[in-house]
Each structure stands twice: as C-alpha cells, then as structure tokens.
C-alpha cells in the first residue's frame, strides 16, 4: 500500500499534475465488471475467459518486472525475446474472446471485458470498436458510454469524451465514478472544456471541474485519490491575478479547504505528509512562509526530503523579500494523441 501512495503523490507533484495523477490511478486501480453467478454454460465459459484474461495479464506483469530487474543487473533488456513471449501468452486469450463473441455477439459484458483487455495490451483502436459495439447492444447501459469517454479522453477528440461521460451520468446519476471521470477530463483539457461548455474563460472551466469533483466526492466522501485530484486544480489559479485582497484571501481559504478535505481522509501518515507538502506550497504561493514552515515540520518521510529542503529554501527567500520561483506545478493541457491503428 505504501508504494501506491508514493506513486500517487509522486504523480501529484509532477509538472502536468492532473494528467499524471489520472494516469497513475488508471494504471493502479481497476473497476471489475459485474459478474452473474449462474449455471448457464454461456456464463461459465465467459467466466473462464475472464479468469484466463486476468491470469495472462498477471503473468505478463511478472515477466516485465523480472526483465526490468534482470536488465538492471546485466545492463540490457532482451526486448525481442520478451515481446515474443508476451505475444504468445496473449494469443489464446484473444482467440477465446473472438470465438466466444462470434457465437454470442450480443453478450454485453464480454464486449466490455474484451475491450478492456485490448486496451490494457496496447491496442486501443480495437478496444474502441468493442466498446462501440457494446454501446449499440445496450445504448441505455452507462458502462459503454463511460469506457468510450475514457478512450476519447486519452486519444481524442476531447469533446466526444465530455459527451460520453455526460451520457453515462444521465443514465446513472448516482454513480460517483462517472462524475470523477468527467471532472478529470474537464480539468485536464480546460481549453476544450471552455469551448464545449461555452464558458467565459479557462478559469471558469477549472471551476466547472471543481464543481463536478464535488459531486463525485459527495457520493464517495472517503475517496482520498479523488480528493487529491480535486485539490490539485487550485494550482491553475494564480494569487497575483486575483483582483482584490479579499479575492486572494477567498482563494486561499478554498485551496486550504480542498487540501484539508484530502488530509482528513488520508489513509496513512505517508499520504498525510504528501498533503502537508501541498499545503506548504499553497502558503508559499500566497506569501506566507511561516505557515509553510509549520506544515513542513510534519514532513519527515525520506521520500519527501529533497522536496522539503527546496520548499524550506523557498520559504527563506519569501521571508527575505526575494521573488521565489512558482511553488506549484504548471498546468498545460496536453494534446490528445492519435491511436495506433488496430
């Protein structure tokens, strides 16, 4: 569990913070499709393929980790050999999915699962086709729309991601995940969101993302990962751009409240220390070095030692009246990549 929070917090401190956190969580956590326990032979075959799917991906993950460890010792990675082993291991799973769907083309959960499998093995264009077919089979089921939103949120066009996640929300307004997914795309691609939602400026787009995150967290108030994602959006706002001192104070209160919400539900001390780093950064951005130093006294984990030292140095610069470098990550919206042909 410690490695998960270190990974999350490292992503959270990256330059492109929203996308980094989102990508890390997507790789580390998963959503299992609902499975019906039944004696139906079709369902038994489907469950068997799911088990084979999981087993193959777990085994490949071990191979990759073992190869990386071997490369560290020998100074080289036998990528061609590993690539061949992986392809050989995946082949029977791919065949099982294709054969099953040839006989049961309207099996919704198999379409969704096959799409997820294809996406995990780096074949997103093929995954898209499976999720599109799933949507045609069950246009009123929110899961295909959510999966399509995830695809378009990564590969574009981004407006289609907004559209698909919104459709998933309309079909299942009580599902917190769909709000979180929409909020993540809005906050990552705020320029596209400004145009899509016809907002006045990019600040309004970030505010919209925060409002959607709030809906997700009302439904899942203990979700630390989402609370971190939401709080990171305050890095988009620059204190010096606020029109009045009261507006600056209001922004500081909102920023601190968002991070305190995350700290309150942090699962362990490591996560709490990561939040303390962000709170210290917030105080420095608003020219409050004493409060930043007070927060940094709570940061003792070796993983944060270098960052803590940099922030303490920055606090001294602020106190001396020197203009420090920006203490929060910048937030460029990444351009969507084109998917490889499948």
Cβ contacts of residue 94 below 8 Å, gap of 6+?
none
Q: Which residue has the tokens 């917090």?
A: 9
Residue 84 dihedral angles phi and psi, to the nearest 5°: -65, -40
How many angstroms separate the CA atoms of 216 and 146, rounded? 15
End-to-end CA distance of the chain: 35
- Residue ranges and CATH numbers for the domains of the chain are 41-138 (1.25.40)
Asked if 151 contacts 128 with a C-beta cutoff of 8 angstroms, the reply is yes
Asked if 115 contacts 134 with a C-beta cutoff of 8 angstroms, the reply is yes
- DSSP symbol at 75: S
Cβ contacts of residue 190 below 8 Å, gap of 6+?
202, 205, 206, 209, 236, 333
- Evaluate the CA torsion angle 71, 12, 277, 262 in order and state its sign: negative
DSSP string, 238-302: -GGGSSSHHHHHHHHHHHHHHHHHHHHT-SSHHHHHHHHHHHHHHHHHTT-HHHHHHHHTT---G
Buried b (16+ CB within 10 A) or exposed e, 58-93: eebeeeeeebeeeeeeeeeeeeeebeeebeeebeeb
- From first to last of its 342 residues, the chain has per-residue pLDDT tens of 444 444 444 444 443 344 443 443 343 333 444 556 567 899 999 999 999 999 999 999 898 888 888 777 765 555 668 888 899 999 999 999 999 999 999 999 999 999 999 999 999 999 999 999 999 999 999 999 999 999 999 999 999 999 999 999 999 999 999 999 999 999 999 999 999 999 999 999 999 999 999 999 999 999 999 999 999 999 999 999 999 999 999 999 999 999 999 999 999 999 999 999 999 999 999 999 999 999 999 999 999 999 999 999 999 999 998 654 544 444 444 444 445 444
How many angstroms separate the CA atoms of 260 and 286, rounded? 17
Q: According to the model, what pLDDT value does residue 64 have?
A: 87
Is 0.95 surpassed by the pTM of this model? no
Q: Cβ–Cβ contacts within 10 Å for residue 278, how many?
A: 26
Between the alpha carbon of residue 174 and those of residues 5, 34, 205, 207, 296, the distances in Å are: 27, 17, 23, 22, 38
How many angstroms separate the CA atoms of 280 and 285, rounded? 9
Asked if 224 contacts 265 with a C-beta cutoff of 8 angstroms, the reply is yes
Distance of CA 158 to the CA centre of its chain: 16
- Closest among 185, 265, 256, 257 to 221, alpha carbons compared: 265
What dihedral angle (degrees, nearest 10) is formed by the CA atoms of 60, 66, 67, 73?
Answer: 180
Q: Which residue has the tokens 């032979």?
A: 41
């Amino acid at each position: 569990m410690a490695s998960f929070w270190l990974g999350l917090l490292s992503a959270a401190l990256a330059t492109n913070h929203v996308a980094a956190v989102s990508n890390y969580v997507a790789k580390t956590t998963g959503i299992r499709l609902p499975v019906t326990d039944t004696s139906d032979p079709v369902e038994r075959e489907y469950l068997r393929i799911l088990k084979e799917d999981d087993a193959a991906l777990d085994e490949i993950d071990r191979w990759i980790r073992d190869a990386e460890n071997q490369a560290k010792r020998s100074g080289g990675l036998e990528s061609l050999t590993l690539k061949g082993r992986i392809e050989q291991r995946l082949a029977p799973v791919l065949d099982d999915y294709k054969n099953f769907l040839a006989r049961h083309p309207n099996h919704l959960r198999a379409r969704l699962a096959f799409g997820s499998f294809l996406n995990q093995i780096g074949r997103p264009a093929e995954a898209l086709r499976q999720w599109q077919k799933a949507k045609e089979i069950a246009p009123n089921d929110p899961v295909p729309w959510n999966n399509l939103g995830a695809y378009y949120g990564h590969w574009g066009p981004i407006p289609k991601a907004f559209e698909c996640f919104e459709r998933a929300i309309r079909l299942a307004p009580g599902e917190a995940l769909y709000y979180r997914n929409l909020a993540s795309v809005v906050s990552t691609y705020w320029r596209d969101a400004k145009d899509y939602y016809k907002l006045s400026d990019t600040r309004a787009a970030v505010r919209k993302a925060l409002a959607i995150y709030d809906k997700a967290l009302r439904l899942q108030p203990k979700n630390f990962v989402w609370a971190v994602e939401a709080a990171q959006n305050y890095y988009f706002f620059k204190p010096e751009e606020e029109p009045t001192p009261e507006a600056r104070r209001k922004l500081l209160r909102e920023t601190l409240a968002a991070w305190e919400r995350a700290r309150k539900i942090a699962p362990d001390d490591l996560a709490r220390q990561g939040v303390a780093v962000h709170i210290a950064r917030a105080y420095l951005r608003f020219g409050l070095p004493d409060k930043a130093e007070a927060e940094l006294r709570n940061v003792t984990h070796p993983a944060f030692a270098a960052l803590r030292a940099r922030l303490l140095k920055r606090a001294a610069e602020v106190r001396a009246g020197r203009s420090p470098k920006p203490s929060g990550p910048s937030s460029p919206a990444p351009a969507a990549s084109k998917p490889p042909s499948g």
